[in-house]
Amino acid sequence: MGNYFSDLGPDFKKRTIKLQSIPAYQYDSSPKEELAAKSITKAELLELYESMLVIREFEEMILKCRTGAYEIISDYEYRGPTHLSIGQEATAAGACSTLNISDLITSTHRGHGDSIAKGFHAIKRMNEAELKARCPEYSDLKGEELREAVMEDHVYRTIAELFGKEAGYGKGRGGGMHIADFRVGHLGANAIVGGGIPIATGAAMTCRIDEEMKKRIVCCFAGDGAYSNGVVLESLNWACQEQFTGKIARTKFGLPVIYCIVNNHFGMTGRADGEVNGVDCLARRAAGFDNENMHAEVVNGMDVLAVRDAINRAKAILASGKGPVLLELDTYRYYGHSLSDPRNEYRTREEEARWKAVDPVDSFKKRLLDGKTFSEKELAAVEKKVADRNARAARRAADSANPDPKDVIKYMYADTSCEVVPAKFTKVEVYKPLPVVKRDADGKINYRDAIKEGIIEEMLRDKRVVLFGEDVADYGGAFKLSKGLLESFGRDRVFNTPISEACICGTAVGMAMTGYRPIAELMYMDFALMASDQISNQAAKWHYMTGASTKVPLVIRCSVGGGKGYGGQHSQSLESMFAHIPGTYVAYPSNPYDAKGLIKTAIRDDNPVIFVEGQLLYNMKGVVPESEYLIPFGQANVLREGSDITFVAWGPAVTDAMKAADMLEKEGISVEVIDPRTLVPFDWETVFASVRKTGRCVAISQCVDIGSYTGEIVSQIVSNCFDYLDSPVLKVGAKNGIAPQADTLEKAFLPTADDMVLAAKSLI
């Protein structure tokens, strides 16, 4: 490793850097020729036609529902999104027809077609046992009757989710823009433009290193609008890192992911070409990330066989370990962004007519008839079957039960943790001796080493635990917390990342949704704002939006740098922001003992955890057992018992709260100090019990006072303990401003023990 890096010296020789060309529209064949070449069968051709018909029928149903024209459910009032993909059927059907049942996809807010196609082709490939396992209620059926029943169930559950019904794939929690079916590898459509691309990239990370998933690939669908989005470009850069395939890689295998740009030529109303982009084709994006252009190609996305051909060739590239691959599928959406968009302000009827002349469904039908592959009667039978199936499924979905209002926040959190590691993940390879955390004569270690020891223990326990972030590998992280872990566990489990906080968190989501337990490090908590979508809209929401069909067990470690003179962009204590996001847990240990116990609990928990670390605490020492122990979330620690007033404080503020308690004791005031340890979940009963005893409370943190979680503590105490209060409940926090760099100003900015003493005295 060292020799490799030492060879990287300057070379300023005059030269010209040439970029490789990108092929476009290479497919030139027909159904008849494909049959003659035995590259496809008649059954597969008919399957492609039916697949596109199912998508078209479903999308046209939505269109008709808006006006009551879909007769079988004309009495049903549909509400919800109307992002139609009519015109794009060949992209979904062509791609998904080549995928195995266990291959993975992610999709977009315009993703009904992708979801239908993934399920449709998976069901076509299932054997009888798999069909019955998917739908046990049809176990008395056999053969094609069984397959058709399962297929109708797929359409039914898709419509039910669109209609917000309990029978839907996400139990009506996610709706059409978030539809997923993990049983066939569909990791979810995504209402955030580009939001699913880092998730797909993370899923490919799992497929790259996991022995059982190595034969799987990920197919990532996203529109042209996504490919101007920051986290999308971060994901392409991430996927092409040379550390996956170059000299320092332990597993020399590129990410097995196909990025499918579904270029329908419009973001919302803005045009990709000629308006908001500066390139003649979006496939050029690939040249910025990979010397091989990510094997990029522009494909006729209106031709289902052209898409199928391109995906098959891309799969061969992935199988050889030379992924990722980027394909631009040139297609068109016939309708506006939604049905409220009449389209006439930014495109013409003549333009639409030219695209409809190469309609993917009609053109394919014509080719099947022209080549005498099928008769009009045979194709008409398929068309009728699809229409009838959709109508039955729609009626059943409209009549099905709505979710019970009492379950409005059911599935917000997983109520499980990893108590037993599956046997196949207990066999952990250690390449060099583990770093030793040295204790002093009193058995003490510092806060930083306590977290490190907890991570080491969990990585030894479970092979699915991986650690990544900026500079965490060779250098050991900005604060040396991970020093030595790379050498012990190897680069598949401990690796550096680009400076791409959104992608760090997004890939962690993808790995977590595919069975791994990533620890993603953000050097400073301030940088979590760069990743707030992937934390708040992705990690936090998928368990709920899928009706508990998936779990997102990840830890995002964020350090808070307040009190070190680092100024406004490196000093923010932002835990209150993430406590406001349902679906995430928030932990903030105040001492070494808690730091180790809580990081171990966080890693084992099946929810996304924001694990906050105070940089001012890194050198704090405390007694930390070498033996196994965990600290449950939602269990506060009463650090000091008292009778006159309650302090509730977390993180570095705990140290000052204890000092303030000592100062007040000298004046005859007895303070009970409670460290909640986790803000979400929060141990309300311990706090309420204390306040009912003391009658007074001060909530303390280093967060900026306005909007701080201390306000929630005040609110809950007033609501639950009002009759016991002898005075108002107060807050103490940082000033309502921006953290300054100057030492004198920062000391005035952050709360001190003296501030806490004054607050307490004002209540007594």
- 3-state DSSP of 641-683: CCCCEEEEECCCHHHHHHHHHHHHHCCCCCEEEEECCEEECCC
Q: What's the CA gap between 21 and 639, in Å, rounded?
A: 66
The two beta strands, 104-106 and 218-223, are parallel
For residues 146 and 527, what is the distance between their CA atoms, to the nearest angstrom? 52
DSSP 49: H
Which of 152, 501, 521, 746 is an active site residue?
A: 501
DSSP 544: H
- Cis before 681? omega within 30: yes
Count the neighbouring beta carbons within 10 Å of the beta carbon of residue 497. Answer: 21
Taking each helix axis from N to C terminus, what angle separates 112-125 and 42-65, rounded to the nearest 10 degrees? 140
Q: What is the DSSP string of 191-257?
A: SSTTTHHHHHHHHHHHHHH-GGGTT--EEEEEEGGGGGSHHHHHHHHHHT-GGGTSTT-SS-----E
Q: Could you tell me if 276 and 228 are in contact, meaning their C-beta atoms sit under 8 angstroms apart?
A: yes
Q: Tokens 């051709």 correspond to what residue?
A: 45
Active-site hit among 34, 570, 613, 672: 570
Beta-strand ranges (E) seen in 5-95 are: none
* Spatial contact of 164 and 172, defined as CB atoms under 8 Å apart: yes
Tokens of 598: 């809580």
Nearest alpha carbon to residue 66 among 312, 340, 264, 335? 340
Cβ of 662: how many Cβ atoms within 10 Å? 13
**In this structure, are residues 206 and 516 in contact, taking their beta carbons and an 8 Å threshold?**
yes
Ramachandran bin of 378, using left for φ above 0, alpha for ψ from -120 to 50, beta for the remaining angles: alpha
**CA–CA–CA angle 284, 286, 287 (5° rounding):** 75
Is 429 annotated as catalytic? no
Closest alpha carbon to 507 in 496, 249, 294 = 496
Q: Which two tokens stand for residue 293?
A: 């252009």
Dihedral through CA 89, CA 94, CA 99, CA 101, nearest 10? 40
Neighbours of 461 (CB within 10 A): 18
DSSP 105-152: EE--TT-HHHHHHHHHHHHHH--HHHHHHH-GGGTT--HHHHHHHHHH
Q: Residue 298 and residue 208: Cα distance in Å, rounded? A: 26
Q: CA-CA distance, 82 to 109, in Å (whole number)?
A: 10
Q: Has 665 been annotated as catalytic?
A: no
Residue 441 burial class via C-beta count within 10 angstroms: exposed 0-12, middle 13-18, buried 19 and up:
exposed
Instruction: Describe the strand order of the beta sheet including 730-734 as a list of residue ranges.
Output: 637-640, 671-675, 645-649, 697-704, 730-734
Annotated catalytic residues are: 501, 570
